[in-house]
A and B are shown apart, each in its own frame.
Chain A
Amino acid sequence: MEIKTLDKLPEKIIIPLRQHRGAVCEPLVKKGDRVLIGQKIGESKEYYSSAVHSSVCGEVLAIEEAAHPDGNKAMSIVIQPEDSNEAVEFSPCKDLKPEKLVELIKESGIVEHYGMPTHTVLKPKGKKIDTVLINATSSEWIGGTFKTPKEYASHVMDALKLLMKTAGAKKGAIVLRTDDKESINAFEGIEVDKKKLRVAPLVGGRKIGYYFKEQNSDIVVLSQKRIYGKKILNFFTYNVTGRKVNVGCDPTDVGVAVCGIKSAKAFYDAVHEGKPYYETVVSIEGVSDRMEYLIVRIGTPFKDVIDSYGYTGDIGKIIANGVRTGVAQYTDQVPVTKGTTRISLQKPEEIIRDESIECIHCARCVDVCPVELIPSRLAVMADQGRFDECRQIYIENCIECGDCAAVCPSKIHILQLIRYAKDAIEMAYEDLPSKESSNLKLGCCGGE
């Protein structure tokens, strides 16, 4: 995989203090300060948080509200870069105790691509993790220089062992995409504890437990079809392990930690080089005839990423994180963040201008739904505000892949309506009392 590096420095770098779920970081610098590459510029004392680091050497211009790729604004530190590679001293981590590793993840600012801080996935409060999965089926592009594909595979395998050590888990797996032949070839025959592993396909009813026994190993490499969507964790966990995650829970409630391959690589770099998470790989779609991959410093505006390809055509729409479920941006000054995986451009003539009509019950959305829902019925009930009926037909299982809205011949905004209903249900149940009646079964499934 050919991945270039964006070397040209932008006019200014905008680093949001909120690039994760949880507590927003407090700025550690002020206007006029000089910062170095890798210097921590934002931090929060909360466990459910992650630090933020500078990706350039330069002067702080302002600390102000700025655009964020999720479509809102966030408090950000604006830095004017200098043409310098001066960085803070990176020191590898010598002490590999789980507590130290957790602290290292938090200090290095490592987060999953969907926003969850990685240490809260591996060490959730009050829960026990026994299996760690590296999800390499989505957001699968990582930077780095590897001499051979085997070196890449051994890197990821070492990262998995570090993640398992941090979580205190005995079992782990790397899940590849079945059509990613490059990665499958790299992992085929990899040696773990003097055992040669094979890439095992998850087909039919086979789950991870089958291959743990078949290959007689606590670590396996799997492959499965890619699952597109914004909320794929529960479905992904079920597909891989067979463990059903109940409504309102996440995989950590059933003992599974799901990490992306980007965060695994960042963790590996943090342990072996002491390097924090301040650059990421972004794919760019629409600037040429094929998908481009670029290593970008976090905080680089989209405009500079687009200009680096010399794109001179008209831009009708800029989409962060994919055309299926991504967010259209209102400005090109929005920065690349830790959660940005793709920048898509659309020409003005490519913009959809369809008008919705009534549902014709053609069942195309039912055929394409990966989690066996009836999206057309969900959309109608969401539109009418019948949220409890949406819950009865499993709206929480929706992974928000957007396929139903994409294939709808009536051009109904099914994805938007389903999200609206899910938000309404979440708000309706979020203020349940912790203990109201012994007849209520509360906990993470409160209100069920």
Chain B
Amino acid sequence: MTYTISAPPHKKTKLDFRSLNISKIIALLPLCLAAIYFFGVPALGILIACVVAAVVTEFGIQTMFKQKVTIADGHAALTGLVLALLIPASAPLWVAVFAGFFAIAIGKHVFGGIGSYIFNPALVAWVFTRSAWTSYMTPLSIPHVGQFSDFILENGAGLMVDVSPILLVGGLYLIYKRYIDWRIPLAFFATMIVLPQTLLFISGVAALVHEGVLNPLMYMSQFFTFLEMSPELPYEMIGIVFFGILFIATDTSTSPVTKKGRIIYGITCGVLVFIYGHFGNFVDGTLYGIFLANCVASFIEINTMPASFGTKTLPQKVYRGVMDKIPASLKFEVMNNE
């Protein structure tokens, strides 16, 4: 009788890279259907053109360079789908095809393929295409939330991704199933909420200073502005921001792997997106902000490497340093008698 010999562990999770990608594509399908409903057949054309161009490009590159063909894992299709949702439905098909090619060729494989690229490939293609063909890539309108029904169907949508913020609820399911990490979306979203409220508070205080108010109670009452909704929030809570939070910022290759680093990265994304959105608009701001955050993701990672277990934190070091200098007669700390 013969038995199999292999290295431990002998039991592993069923989850693999392909199922991760397929689940993300499935989470985006409702949004695609809503976009086709809203924009019509041109949207369907953009979606198909982008996905097919991405998959064909990956197949071509890997065949040409005699690498193992990996289009079956779904990552190229996912990249094409994400990119298609960022292209206006009014753009010609050749722009979508070129963007798909650029995403896979330059954004992914020039950097070495899966796990090696620094920027999200869809963002790389979007930034290039937006710069190269600004007229085709300009959305017809900038959405904002005027009423609750805009969460269901955004009539001011300029990109396919803006059509229906509520259909991005699949991203929450991905977090629940741990297909994507919760730290980045939470830090990103919290920063996007806190920054406009803080800006409202600061501007209120500045206005009081400008008027020469000396009553401290007037300044303290400015804290109530945190309970009001900043006028920027309706322009922030749009589909592309949620899309960036749930599907672009959480791309695993472009975000840090350390726990603390992921929180800092989420905050960085939030700050950059808010700055760009505040002075420009949140549609471009989301994509340019995350693109810039990708630049510093590696820096965040190497500076948040975890220490060895048992390493004292800074407050513990300070406390221990102070306590060790106190003479024994003045010690109130319980002595270690071991």
Contacts and interface: CB of A to CB of B under 8 A. Distances in A.
B3 interface: yes
A415 B7 contact: yes
A198 interface: no
Interface stretch (B148-156, B206-214, B221-229, B251-259): B251-259
B104 to A, nearest CB: 16
Contacts of B338: 130-131, 171, 209, 255
B263 to A, nearest CB: 12
B8 A213 contact: no
A394 B308 contact: yes
A191 to B, nearest CB: 24
B1 interface: yes
Interface string B228-259: 00000000000000000000000011011111
A371 to B, nearest CB: 5
A367 B309 contact: no
Given A315-B1, A354-B16, A360-B17, A397 B258 contact: no
Given A130-B338, A325-B8, A360-B114, A238 B309 contact: yes
A327 B252 contact: no
Interface residues of B, number: 42
A362 B75 CA distance: 14
B10 A346 contact: yes
A317 B256 CA distance: 38
A324 B8 contact: yes
B248 to A, nearest CB: 15
A402 B8 contact: yes
A325 B9 contact: yes
Contact of B114 (A316, A324, A357): A357
Given A332-B3, A361-B252, A361-B253, A405 B9 contact: yes
Nearest to B302: A377
B5 interface: yes
A362 B334 contact: no
Contacts of B306: 372-374
B305 A393 contact: yes
Contact of B9 (A359, A373, A406): A406
Contact of A366 (B259, B308, B309): B259
Which among B6, B252, B309 has the greatest number of chain A C-beta atoms within 10 A?
B309
A371 B309 contact: yes
B115 interface: yes
Given A363-B181, A366-B258, A372-B306, A326 B16 contact: no
Contacts of B181: 362-363, 367
B193 interface: no
A354 B12 contact: yes
Contact of B16 (A331, A332, A359, A409): A409
Contacts of A393: 305
Contacts of B310: 238, 242, 244
B23 to A, nearest CB: 11
A376 B6 CA distance: 21
Contacts of B258: 363, 366, 374
Interface in A284-336: 315-319, 323-332
A411 interface: yes
Contacts of B262: 363
Interface in A203-253: 209, 213, 235, 238, 242, 244
A242 B310 CA distance: 8
B6 A352 contact: yes
B4 interface: yes
Interface in A362-402: 362-364, 366-367, 371-374, 376-377, 393-394, 397, 402
B67 to A, nearest CB: 11
A57 to B, nearest CB: 30
Nearest to B9: A402
A244 to B, nearest CB: 4
B8 A361 contact: no
B17 A213 contact: no
A363 B3 contact: no
Interface in B29-75: 70, 73
A354 B16 CA distance: 9
Contact of A405 (B1, B4, B12, B309): B12
A411 B16 CA distance: 7
A411 B73 CA distance: 14
A150 interface: no
A367 B260 CA distance: 11
Contacts of A358: 113-116
Contact of B257 (A213, A325, A374): A374
B134 interface: no
A219 to B, nearest CB: 14
Nearest to B8: A325
A165 interface: no
A410 interface: yes
B115 A326 contact: no
B4 A408 contact: no
A127 B309 CA distance: 24
A178 B252 CA distance: 35
Interface string B287-331: 000000000000000000111111000000000000000000000
Given A323-B11, A352-B12, A330 B3 contact: yes
B13 interface: yes
B8 A327 contact: yes
Nearest to B252: A362
B308 A397 contact: yes
B135 interface: no
B336 interface: yes
Given A318-B3, A409-B16, A409-B17, A363 B9 contact: no
A374 B258 CA distance: 7
Which among A213, A352, A363, A397 has the greatest number of chain B C-beta atoms within 10 A?
A363
B20 interface: yes
B114 A213 contact: no
B132 interface: no
A359 B334 CA distance: 49
Nearest to B254: A361
Contacts of B307: 372, 394
A360 B255 CA distance: 10
Listed from nearest, the 8 A-B pairs whose CB atoms lie closest are A402-B9, A244-B310, A363-B257, A362-B252, A323-B10, A372-B306, A358-B115, A416-B7
10 contacts: A317-B3, A317-B5, A319-B10, A323-B9, A348-B4, A363-B257, A364-B178, A366-B259, A372-B307, A409-B17
Given A374-B305, A405-B9, 8 more contacts: A213-B334, A242-B310, A318-B3, A354-B12, A360-B17, A367-B259, A409-B17, A416-B7
Interface of B: 1, 3-13, 15-17, 19-20, 70, 73, 113-116, 178, 181, 252-253, 255-259, 262, 305-310, 334, 336, 338
